[in-house]
């Protein structure tokens, strides 16, 4: 049985390094599907030229290349021009009501990161082809339920609109503004994102918003295609990206990065009794050498297998995007604290002695 090693090349069934960055997994009919950004070589590879790649396995030891599940080549559908647009952090769920596979991704049509939208594509099969349904911002015209009154102040909103846009990196000016109010009519910004499906079947979009200063948690409708459900703000002015969400012992956990572009930074963890919050920060979950940079990585997804939780992360190589590496670590526990320790070994497939 092949064991992948963190940070090394991960060959697929054709011996080619797996090309599924910023990815997420889905379990369906005995298979595990891995969806991720298909990158190309060089710096240009950080924009989308091809689409979303899908692989599948039964046991994590052999990943079969199943091709491009969402293909943007040969078309300008929805304004997605290959080489100009950005498609990041794709995640897929299967909707029990419609039987459709629903793919969400962060979408920029112009590569400038100012659209800050969510792309949604649908397929009848887990391997696709996924067809674009829409590209839009969440929560158009809908205040997050827990928006503080001061952010609804019309003067503050007018002041925000009179100012140059806040760049999507930590910025002290943000505390005087109401980005949530200024964006209300056009929808809330959405960059890094993930999907989380709870045990009751409900699904949520968790996305960096308000110039990445604040996370939003949006409950999806029963078809998983509408972004106008109840929304809650979390971690205001904490500049969190790369949300990774999981459930453990009846509570909800989140591990996010800080906001430093492709450069790795220290992760933060948090716990809540309900997915919409309130969330309590638990500090940096990483331990040991490299903890201040999450061991040189940024999280992308949490995966549960046999009651254990795995933190799936990218080691980005922005100068040669296609060469990005994967680091999968098991989440262990210090009491209530989720903890990450670096390891050369990928902890999957599970060692039968430990399972």
In terms of CB distance, is 69 or 321 closer to ligand DGJ?
A: 321
Q: Which of residues 89-108 bind ligand DGJ (CB under 6 A)?
A: 89
Our CB check for ligand DGJ shows the closer of 37 and 71 to be: 37
CA–CA gap between residue 277 and residue 111 (Å, rounded): 32
Q: Burial-class residue 112 by CB neighbours within 10 Å (0-12, 13-18, 19+).
A: exposed
- Residue 105 and residue 90 in contact, taking contact as beta carbons nearer than 8 Å: yes
Q: Cβ distance 50 to 37 under 8 Å?
A: no
Residue among 261 and 288 whose Cβ is closer to ligand DGJ: 261
Binding mask 253-292 for ligand DGJ (x = CB under 6 A): --------xx------------------------------
Minimal distance in Å, beta carbon 217 to ligand DGJ? 17
CB of residue 73 to ligand DGJ, shortest distance in Å = 22
Is 298 a binder of ligand DGJ (CB under 6 A)?
yes
Specify whether the CB–CB gap between 35 and 20 falls below 8 A: yes
Query: Residue 30: beta bridge partners?
Result: none
Question: Does 37 engage in binding with ligand DGJ (CB under 6 A)?
Answer: no
Binding ligand DGJ (rule: CB under 6 A), the pick from 4, 6, 10, 22 is 22
How many residues touch ligand DGJ (CB under 6 A)? 9
What DSSP state is assigned to residue 16?
P
Chosen residue from 241, 276, 315, 342 binding ligand DGJ by CB under 6 A: 241
The continuous run of DSSP H or E covering 103 comes out as strand 101-108
Query: Does 86 sit behind a cis peptide bond, omega within 30 degrees of 0 on the bond before it?
Result: no
Name the phi and psi angles at 151, rounded to 5: -80, -10
Residues at the site binding ligand DGJ, with contacts judged by CB under 6 A:
22, 88-89, 192, 241-242, 261-262, 298
């Amino acid at each position: 049985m092949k064991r992948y090693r963190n940070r090394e090349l991960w060959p697929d069934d054709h011996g080619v390094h797996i090309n599924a960055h910023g990815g997420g997994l889905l379990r369906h009919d005995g298979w595990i599907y891995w969806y991720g950004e298909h990158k190309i070589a060089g710096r240009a590879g950080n924009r989308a030229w091809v689409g979303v790649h899908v692989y599948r396995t039964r046991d994590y030891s052999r990943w079969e290349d199943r091709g491009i599940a969402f293909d943007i080549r040969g078309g300008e559908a929805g304004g997605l021009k290959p080489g100009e647009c950005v498609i990041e952090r794709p995640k897929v769920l299967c909707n029990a009501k419609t039987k459709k596979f629903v793919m969400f991704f962060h979408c920029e049509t112009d590569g400038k990161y100012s659209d800050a939208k969510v792309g949604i594509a649908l397929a009848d099969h887990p391997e696709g082809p996924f067809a674009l349904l829409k590209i839009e911002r969440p929560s158009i015209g809908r205040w997050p339920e827990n928006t503080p009154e001061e952010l609804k102040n019309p003067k503050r909103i007018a002041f925000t609109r009179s100012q140059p846009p806040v760049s999507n990196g930590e910025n002290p000016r943000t505390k005087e503004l109401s980005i949530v109010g200024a964006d209300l009519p056009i929808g809330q910004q959405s960059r890094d994102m993930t999907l989380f499906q709870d045990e009751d079947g409900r699904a949520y979009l968790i996305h960096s918003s308000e110039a990445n200063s604040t996370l939003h948690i949006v409950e999806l409708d029963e078809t998983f295609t509408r972004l106008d459900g109840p929304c809650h703000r979390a971690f205001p002015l904490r500049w969190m990206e790369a949300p990774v969400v999981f459930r453990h012992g009846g509570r909800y956990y989140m591990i996010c990065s800080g906001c430093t572009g492709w450069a790795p930074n220290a992760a933060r963890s948090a716990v809540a009794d309900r997915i919409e919050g309130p969330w309590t920060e638990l500090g940096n979950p990483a331990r040991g050498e490299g903890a201040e940079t999450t061991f040189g990585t940024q999280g992308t997804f949490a995966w549960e297998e046999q009651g254990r939780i795995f933190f799936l992360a990218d080691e980005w190589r922005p100068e040669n995007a296609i060469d990005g590496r994967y680091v999968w670590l098991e989440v262990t526990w210090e009491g209530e604290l989720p903890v990450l320790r670096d390891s050369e070994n990928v902890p999957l497939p599970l060692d039968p002695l430990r399972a």
